[in-house]
Amino acid sequence: MQHLGTLEELPVSYRSGLSERSLVPLWPLMRDALPYDKPHRKTTPHVWRWSDVRPNLLEAGHLAPMEKAERRVLILANPGLGLDSIRATPSIFIGMQLILPGESAPTHKHSPSAVRMVIEGQGGYTIVQGERCPMEKGDLILTPSGLWHEHGHDGHEPVIWMDALDLPAVAGLEASYAVEGNIQNVREDLDSSQTRYRRAGLIPFESLSRRKTDYPLIRFPWSEVKESLKAYANVTPMDSIVQLAYVNPETGQECMPVLGFSAIMLRPGETMRPRRRSSSAVLHCIEGQGEAQIDGVTLRFEDSDTMAAPTHADIEVSNRSTSRPAFLFQVDDAPMQRKLGFFEEFG
């Protein structure tokens, strides 16, 4: 391996002259910017336990009224990246959002793209571009970049969901901002995107001759995703991972441009060992319990716990129950890495 000169080897006068002109020599920093074999990573394997998050989020319901909060969210901040970085991984923002009965979160749109994964409660809804989407446990709802959206609650108990955004990537480009809007007029065709694309392999006939829609499907009901996973598990060998991707039904590509989303089923007693990937990931337990080994760190998880995995991590996830399956929701930044041309799988 080539020995590179250090900053201290340069004359003080030379270094001072560079600094005065906002210049920096690359060679002393080369291995920090381009390390061999594997990137330098500050992200640490970490688990946020629902038993810790939920009571603090409910307390926020009393401390932060909606008119002062706009969005009542607790951020899952990776300790390796620093609590002020508001990142679960370098490119993934994860927050837990609470809405109480009778409340509404005002209409806005923003440059980052977001999804909502519902954790608990009934009676909540999200309106996206005039389409009202009911929110049930495990449902995935898209609020893509630039689309108007708002949240409301017609039920009788707290509703909580997980927000996953590409905010760190967008903010890093100094392109993150939001715009306030007026209350939307709700279309009469409730949850229309899910109705039009109810069955895999079937799309409205007219879509064959019109320009493909960026986001034809806004809501993915958990009841149907779960049944699909169970059916897929019946035809998947035990040495293969039962994993389904959330995609655009008109193109077959990822449903969002920067972050990818998928659902995983671990059969009773099953352990999955995915190939090492260049992308980072967040794993949220929808149902079940188990144990994850991420870069040699053991993380036990239960219902609604959330875990972070760094880029290039060695991951092993086990369902410790011998009678019940476990269901996980995965967020990763593979779509962005594919578009930028450096996504890799190893082993």
Query: Who's near 23: CB < 8 A, 6+ residues apart?
Result: none
pLDDT of residue 325: 98
Contact predicate 285/263, CB 8 Å: no
**Residue 269 domain flag:** yes
**Residue 178 domain flag:** yes
pLDDT of residue 1: 61
> CA end-to-end span of the chain, whole Å?
24
**Residue 93 domain flag:** yes
**Residue 240 domain flag:** yes
pLDDT along the chain (347 residues), means of 10: 84 96 95 92 98 98 91 98 96 98 96 98 96 96 97 96 98 97 89 83 87 89 97 96 96 96 98 98 98 98 98 98 97 98 95
The DSSP letter of residue 343 is: -
**Residue 291 domain flag:** yes
The DSSP letter of residue 202 is: -
Question: Of the candidates 309, 259, 267, which has an alpha carbon nearest to the alpha carbon of residue 284?
Answer: 309
Task: Give the C-alpha separation, 33 to 25, whole Å.
Answer: 12
**CATH code of residue 285:** 2.60.120.10
Structural domain range at position 226:
46-346
**Residue 50 domain flag:** yes
pLDDT of residue 321: 96
Contact predicate 45/69, CB 8 Å: no
Task: Give the C-alpha separation, 26 to 210, whole Å.
Answer: 51
**Residue 32 domain flag:** no
Neighbours of 325 (CB within 10 A): 19
**Residue 224 domain flag:** yes
The structural domain count of the chain equals 1
